[in-house]
Structure 1
Amino acid sequence: MTGWLSPTPASGTDSHTPHVDALGVIGIGVGGLEAETVMLGRASMMRLPDIVGVRLTGARQPGITATDIVLALTAFLREQRVVGAWIEFFGEGAAGLSIGDRATISNMCPEYGATAALFHIDQQTIDYLRLTGRAPEQVALVETYAKTLGLWADALRTAEYERVLAFDLASVERSMAGPSNPHRRLPTAALKELGIAVGLDTAQAEERAGLLPDGAVVIAAITSCTNTSNPRNVVAAGLLAKKANALGLVRKPWVKTSFAPGSKVARLYLEEAGLLAELETLGFGIVAYACTTCNGMSGALDPAIQREIVDRDLYATAVLSGNRNFDGRIHPHAKQAFLASPPLVVAYAIAGTVRLDIERDALGVDRDGKPITLKDLWPSDAEIDAIVASCVRPEQFRAVYDPMFAANRDGVEKTSPLYDWRPASTYIRRPPYWDTEGVGALAATPRTLTGMRPLAVLPDNITTDHLSPSNAILANSAAGEYLARMGLPEEDFNSYATHRGDHLTALRATFANPQLVNEMAVVEGAVRKGSLTRLEPDGTVMRMWEAIETYLERRQPLIVVAGADYGQGSSRDWAAKGVRLAGVEAIVAEGFERIHRTNLIGMGVLPLEFKPGTTRLTLGLDGSETYDVTGERRPRTDLTLVVHRRDGETLRVPVTCRLDTAEEVSIHEAGGVLQRFAQDFLASESAQKGAP
């Protein structure tokens, strides 16, 4: 029917999806396997969410960026347990935020665990549509439609929520997050008290001796859709670079710097403002328009620097304007990583170490030997706003995006829709989900949910980066050794993220994070960190891949036991694919991140949740047990986890089946997304052949 309008949500599978929440459009993040379910003809279903109202009051203090606000909000909302909820921001504080600021907040939605993070449509929305080159009639239509249907912010002031949280924007200080989780906010003024910003004198002495300082920042990256989609953040970085250049400051030589905006528009307005050259002078030239460092693709470090980090066992770090800094994500040799605003990233590149008080200590000296501190470089809000107002223009957006949508695709040569698989490829290989023999064959094997042995017993906050790392592949890793056998030189190993089309490489990345803590990997009475587990019933601690390989040869079904917030982070298919190809049939945890749970179901892995008050610790689980799961699998029903201890004792533990809908039960019982599709397709073919 033409001439009618109706609200339509958008679903997507990456961090960009919740961006549109800033415009008053519900953007719902789903798992990649859930999206494949829809592509194969089935519906995407979810339970009715909790709607949480977040009243924003006050206004930000001078010099506070949207990054500071979102890091504070992420910590606050994690504490308030909004996992799976839809959030609506409202109040006078929300009204005062630009669309760019709102986009920064909405984009971090997965990091505080919510499904959507909506701002209401108001004049800021209309101004943004004009700024980005929308046709006047389209802008007028949006405004008329929102006001007519009661979707305009003024009409929603009386909206009622079952739960309302309050957050004062005026309380936000300049902040970072780290050193390993986006919700671990650290006010920069408190770094010294927290023991991170200590030993600057020692660091300076090491530098004078020609050594890399402990706490060295080896990667400083302005990156991620979270921050580079906000012109205020990017312009602030450019202005800080300009002031630093004028004073003769330079980045430290061991810092690998980069700038990867999500859109080519950033280049245009920075060039207009004369700031791109200033960033390039400090090493922040544009390297790509895509996910780079924030997704573990920072590239290789200088070999000499990497060698010194290893030889001296240095505490090396990364500072980036990304949205995720999970253990081991950014680079294997950056032991930890901190999230920061783009201008702070530039400041840390100049300082070269996190072992300083960034608010008070000198970042360097000017040409006259005068110490320069952060306050000497930090741009004023008026400076930032003036450049945004004069240099960010509609024609820039039209110049970048109009050709994308107007491209003429006529005349493209038609080719076969079937991919010509290359058997020896390490990037894309025919997947094994239908195979009954070979590596990964257990994914096509009927699950029994009996006699399962633990592959890992894990603590709280296990992320998808622990399950399936994104970063660089090292030569001494299982994946690196495999690639070497395939004839690739080490300089061509690339990252785990780029090899996810090859299951033989990606399976070797399962639990391959060097920062993994598996409570089964006990050596000399202590848990050893790394990609390790204990092979059972042998009792031998070994590298995770060798244990997986052994279990595959034995056709041993596996289970994973975990703590709270299992699977937070990117909605990464391979965090679910890897465990299923390894033979994992079930995961029992204290709680799951929503998207990872749906991805597990899409691979035929059963998610089970301990009852409140019951944990792996209260049950005394150490990984030497075998496990069965009994009971009829229905949405959120109670099942029984039967634990057979090595000494012969048997525990019967009630758990919640986290198949939340009938559709999820259907997919799981079939064996996963592809198996469900195959069964439906064959049933349809059979019915058609039998039809008169």
Structure 2
Amino acid sequence: MIKLYEKGAYVLNGAEIVDEQNVTSELLFQKLGEECTKESAAKNTLAYEILEAHNTSGNMEKLKIKFDKLTSHDITFVGIIQTARASGLEKFPVPYVLTNCHNSLCAVGGTINEDDHMFGLSCGKKYGGIYVPPHQAVIHQFAREMLAGGGRMILGSDSHTRYGALGTMAIGEGGPELVKQLLSRTYDINMPGVVGVYLTGTPRKGVGPQDIALAIIGAVFSNGYVNNKVMEFIGDGVENLSVDYRIGIDVMTTETTCLSSIWTTDDKVKEFYEIHNRAEDYKELKPKKVAYYDGFIYVDLSEIKPMIAMPFHPSNVYTIDDVNANLYDILDEVEKKAGISLDNNDIKYTLKDKIRNGKLYVEQGVIAGCAGGGFENICDATDILNGAYIGADEFSLSVYPASQPIFMELVKNGSVAKLMETGATIRTAFCGPCFGAGDVPSNNSFSIRHTTRNFPNREGSKITNGQIASVALMDARSIAATAANKGYLTSAENIDANFSKPKYFFDSKIYDNRVYNGVGKADPSVEIKFGPGIVDWPAMSPLTEDLVLKVVSVIHDPVTTTDELIPSGETSSYRSNPLKLAEFTLSRKDPSYVGRAKEIQKAEKARIAGEDIYAANKEVERIFEKINEKFSVDPKLTEIGSVIYAVKPGDGSAREQAASCQKVLGGLANIAKEYATKRYRSNLINWGMLPFLLKEEIPFDNGDYIYIKDIKKAVAEKASEIKAYVVDKDMKEFTLSLGELTEDERDIIQSGCLINYYRDKN
């Protein structure tokens, strides 16, 4: 059972819950023996304590956070360091870990992936960082094993940066926010709301952390209950969960769209740090005598059954039992929802053809990454599969331990041999199955995965090539049960397994021998190694007084993911080449976008070069003539670019390229009803793009031009409303807004991007 409180709640002594709707000051005094206000109780959460310790502003309503450590992987660290170098980087001011777990395979573009790795190693030496070679660990497992610490804060350029179960408040953001930290600046946000998550009871046998996580995601995603807030896990049920189990729930909080997470800690967490030779990093964390939460989620662990998140979102959840009992009805629902997500009439998507003998058959199982590749997950899956065989039909099973230390321990305790005997294959630490760079299914195949996301085409299929495959998210235990049943969907509750729960022994020798640790040893004499695929960011212009924007894509889907804005998979190999990567922008959602954006960009390139704007784009001449019938505007002094409209863009990955690729193609703004995540909106701002809001129905069509007068003044003077005009519709007026912006964000937008902003300041 999961219950969402309509308002907030007070928690007394970490145990008694008092619904805000039923509370009075007299009742609190009676229970506590002292006066208590909501404002004072809100300061008694774990989140408040940690944020206060890291805030440098002196104002807890307007936070300026400095993080203890930073972490990135090989899709993001090249762009981050290149941006920081262009902005004046001299050395890493805090420990910065560069892992190589996304572009580990050099399957596309010759040497470009390995060139990125050598770039990272040389930067680790030059600036004093930590370099984790490919196949050693996925980014988040290395952070759990080697970086996390009680009461600390970590910023990572990956959306699943979540170490709350270890007492560390971690946040996943776009690369420019890490650039700010590398330049000793701050992460600026309003004090977030804090939502209590009270766990009680004990999970059923066969129910794993992914099941709990999916149940919570299903309850809170669509209503935005925890959007951009901190989820704080407390309650008597926490002690009934191993640390590996807590980690498995915690990492999936990203899919709720919360800002971060934090958990109460105990002796089990203390033991985790001791096992990893870091006993000094443990800190006991628990709410104070009375803590107030802005929202509250009550979770009875004992009532949650094995779950499945059907395509194409982690919130599209059902119990496995319900799916098996109501196959045709549920698959019909899934196919209708898929039609909205896919939005492509040429693709015929169905799962009903997976029904064989009244059962649902799947072609692939994967247990991998920061969510599935943990020691306990794999050991439990091994116990379920022990003595079974996956069969010789379409179904396959691959298992990716999340780090080499985990892999080595699985070898030592015999789990790897047992898994291999079943027909499963064991791989090294790699994030590829989470974003389409590993285990891509065949066309029309259905994969079940203990990974993080199941967005359209994220498993690697290309809808523009007529391909479609899909992923359902499940826990490792039910994936193993399905594998033991040779591919027929099976709940782990229906398997009579004996879980041996072997003890984990961490061996640091692998890291001692292979990980380069340059913290405190920056060597400016080191030459950075640049491969031919590593390209500097193109020059970007500052904001002009007025803007002319051409609408080049209109997306009416309820939510637009970052995977749709810039696809993952093989495109990730080009993340160090902004011009090359930009060619993939919206390629699986709106294949005509790139051409339309480039066409209008010709006019802006001519303007910057002092050439004939109208010769570069003849259509622009008519647009300026129309504008000048009402206003006086000089085309030579007016920035010309493109804009996309989406209802709610930015769900999913933290990848900054979802915004920067638009900017590289001349994108100057987004218009949206709302932004799915703070991190995507921040990415827009840091690349100098205007994050416009439009609550009403859109007054323009794809291909229309929009004129915005005095936009630079509006940004500088914090205008709440900005007048805009649809040029092609007789200068029809409508109103945009920008929402709240910090002073630095206003300056960044006016400068044209973060690089320009720091260059100007220097």
Which TM-score tier does this pair reach, normalised by the shorter chain?
A: 0.7 to 0.9
Partner of 1:12: 156
TM-score, structure 2 normalization:
0.66
| Shift of residue 273, structure 1, vs aligned partner | 3.0
TM-score, structure 1 normalization:
0.72
Q: Structure 1 77/134 Cα, relative in aligned 2: closer, same or farther at 3 Å?
A: same
Q: Structure 1 218/468 Cα, relative in aligned 2: closer, same or farther at 3 Å?
A: farther
Check if 1:298 corresponds to 2:432. Answer: no
Partner of 1:30: 173
Partner of 2:478: 344
CA distance in 2, matches of 1:44, 1:287: 37
Residues 471-517 of structure 1: CA deviation (Å, up to 9, x unaligned): 2xxxxxxxxxxxxxxxxxxxxxxx1112211223311110012xx2x
Aligned match for 2:564, one of 466, 491, 506: 466
| Shift of residue 62, structure 1, vs aligned partner | 2.2
Count how many residue pairs are aligned between Structure 1 and Structure 2.
549
For 1:398, the aligned partner's letter is S
- Percent of aligned pairs with the same residue? 20
* Secondary structure of the structure 1 residue equivalent to 2:366: strand
Check if 1:274 corresponds to 2:432. Answer: no
Partner of 1:221: 366
For 1:364-513, what aligned pairs fall within 5 Å after superposition?
377=495, 379=497, 383-384=498-499, 386-389=500-503, 392-393=504-505, 396-403=506-513, 416-420=526-530, 422=532, 428-434=533-539, 443-444=540-541, 446=543, 450-458=547-555, 459-471=557-569, 495-513=570-588
Check if 1:602 corresponds to 2:602. Answer: no
Check if 1:61 corresponds to 2:204. Answer: yes
Partner of 2:337: none
Residues 402-457 of structure 1: CA deviation (Å, up to 9, x unaligned): 445786999999865355463xxxxx2323422xxxxxxxx446456622111211
Please tell me whether the aligned partners of residues 230 and 260 of structure 2 are also in contact (alpha carbons under 8 angstroms): yes
Q: Structure 1 397/255 Cα, relative in aligned 2: closer, same or farther at 3 Å?
A: same
| Shift of residue 113, structure 1, vs aligned partner | 0.8
Q: Structure 1 444/632 Cα, relative in aligned 2: closer, same or farther at 3 Å?
A: closer
Q: Which consecutive residues of structure 1, in runs of 5 or more, have no partner in the other structure?
A: 207-212, 310-314, 360-373, 423-427, 435-442, 472-494, 517-530, 533-542, 682-692
For 1:96-175, what aligned pairs fall within 5 Å after superposition?
96-135=240-279, 138=280, 142=282, 146=284, 151=285, 153=286, 156=288, 158-175=290-307
Please tell me whether the aligned partners of residues 191 and 357 of structure 1 are also in contact (alpha carbons under 8 angstroms): no
Q: Structure 1 628/417 Cα, relative in aligned 2: closer, same or farther at 3 Å?
A: farther
| Shift of residue 22, structure 1, vs aligned partner | 0.7
Bigger mean CA deviation after superposition, 329-338 or 214-223: 214-223
Q: Which consecutive residues of structure 2, in runs of 5 or more, have no partner in the other structure?
A: 1-148, 333-349, 462-466, 605-639
CA distance in 2, matches of 1:411, 1:170: 50
| Shift of residue 12, structure 1, vs aligned partner | 1.7
Q: Structure 1 201/336 Cα, relative in aligned 2: closer, same or farther at 3 Å?
A: closer
* Secondary structure of the structure 2 residue equivalent to 1:289: coil
Please tell me whether the aligned partners of residues 636 and 658 of structure 1 are also in contact (alpha carbons under 8 angstroms): no
* Secondary structure of the structure 2 residue equivalent to 1:61: coil
Residues 30-52 of structure 1: CA deviation (Å, up to 9, x unaligned): 22111112223432222211111
Please tell me whether the aligned partners of residues 714 and 722 of structure 2 are also in contact (alpha carbons under 8 angstroms): no
Residues 195-215 of structure 1: CA deviation (Å, up to 9, x unaligned): 356999975879xxxxxx998
Q: Structure 1 244/40 Cα, relative in aligned 2: closer, same or farther at 3 Å?
A: same
Residues 295-339 of structure 1: CA deviation (Å, up to 9, x unaligned): 2211566xxxx5xx4xxxxx3222211111111111114432111
Aligned match for 1:286, one of 415, 426, 438: 426
Aligned match for 2:458, one of 329, 353, 356: 329
Q: Structure 1 649/660 Cα, relative in aligned 2: closer, same or farther at 3 Å?
A: closer
For 1:520-531, what aligned pairs fall within 5 Å after superposition?
531=590
CA distance in 1, matches of 2:698, 2:520: 64
Per chain length, whose mean CA-contact separation is higher, i.e. which structure has more relative contact order (CA < 8 Å, sep 6+)? 2
* CA root-mean-square deviation: 3.3
For 1:676, the aligned partner's letter is Y
* Secondary structure of the structure 2 residue equivalent to 1:55: strand
Q: Structure 1 109/409 Cα, relative in aligned 2: closer, same or farther at 3 Å?
A: closer
For 1:589, the aligned partner's letter is A
Residues 135-188 of structure 1: CA deviation (Å, up to 9, x unaligned): 5xx27xx45xx4xxxx3x3x5353222332322222311111120111221211
Aligned match for 1:651, one of 733, 742, 758: 733
For 1:528-543, what aligned pairs fall within 5 Å after superposition?
531-532=590-591, 543=592
Please tell me whether the aligned partners of residues 175 and 187 of structure 1 are also in contact (alpha carbons under 8 angstroms): yes
Q: Structure 1 445/56 Cα, relative in aligned 2: closer, same or farther at 3 Å?
A: same
Q: Structure 1 184/375 Cα, relative in aligned 2: closer, same or farther at 3 Å?
A: closer
Residues 235-273 of structure 1: CA deviation (Å, up to 9, x unaligned): 12112222423xxx4253x34542222211222332233
Q: Structure 1 411/623 Cα, relative in aligned 2: closer, same or farther at 3 Å?
A: closer
| Shift of residue 285, structure 1, vs aligned partner | 2.7
Check if 1:185 corresponds to 2:314. Answer: no
Bigger mean CA deviation after superposition, 443-452 or 98-107: 443-452
Partner of 1:244: 388
| Shift of residue 659, structure 1, vs aligned partner | 5.0
CA distance in 2, matches of 1:596, 1:409: 30
| Shift of residue 65, structure 1, vs aligned partner | 0.7
| Shift of residue 352, structure 1, vs aligned partner | 6.8
* Secondary structure of the structure 2 residue equivalent to 1:674: helix
Q: Structure 1 500/283 Cα, relative in aligned 2: closer, same or farther at 3 Å?
A: farther
CA distance in 1, matches of 2:373, 2:200: 25
Q: Structure 1 104/462 Cα, relative in aligned 2: closer, same or farther at 3 Å?
A: same
CA distance in 1, matches of 2:150, 2:501: 37
Partner of 1:673: 754
| Shift of residue 678, structure 1, vs aligned partner | 1.3
Please tell me whether the aligned partners of residues 182 and 325 of structure 1 are also in contact (alpha carbons under 8 angstroms): yes
Please tell me whether the aligned partners of residues 435 and 460 of structure 2 are also in contact (alpha carbons under 8 angstroms): no
Q: Structure 1 546/654 Cα, relative in aligned 2: closer, same or farther at 3 Å?
A: closer
For 2:558, the aligned partner's letter is D
| Shift of residue 550, structure 1, vs aligned partner | 2.5
Please tell me whether the aligned partners of residues 175 and 656 of structure 2 are also in contact (alpha carbons under 8 angstroms): yes
Please tell me whether the aligned partners of residues 180 and 326 of structure 1 are also in contact (alpha carbons under 8 angstroms): yes
CA distance in 1, matches of 2:469, 2:399: 21
Check if 1:552 corresponds to 2:693. Answer: no
| Shift of residue 641, structure 1, vs aligned partner | 4.9
For 1:175, the aligned partner's letter is M
* Secondary structure of the structure 1 residue equivalent to 2:683: helix
| Shift of residue 349, structure 1, vs aligned partner | 4.9
Q: Structure 1 636/191 Cα, relative in aligned 2: closer, same or farther at 3 Å?
A: farther
Please tell me whether the aligned partners of residues 133 and 397 of structure 1 are also in contact (alpha carbons under 8 angstroms): no
CA distance in 2, matches of 1:201, 1:317: 11
Partner of 1:524: none
CA distance in 2, matches of 1:468, 1:352: 36
Please tell me whether the aligned partners of residues 309 and 474 of structure 2 are also in contact (alpha carbons under 8 angstroms): yes
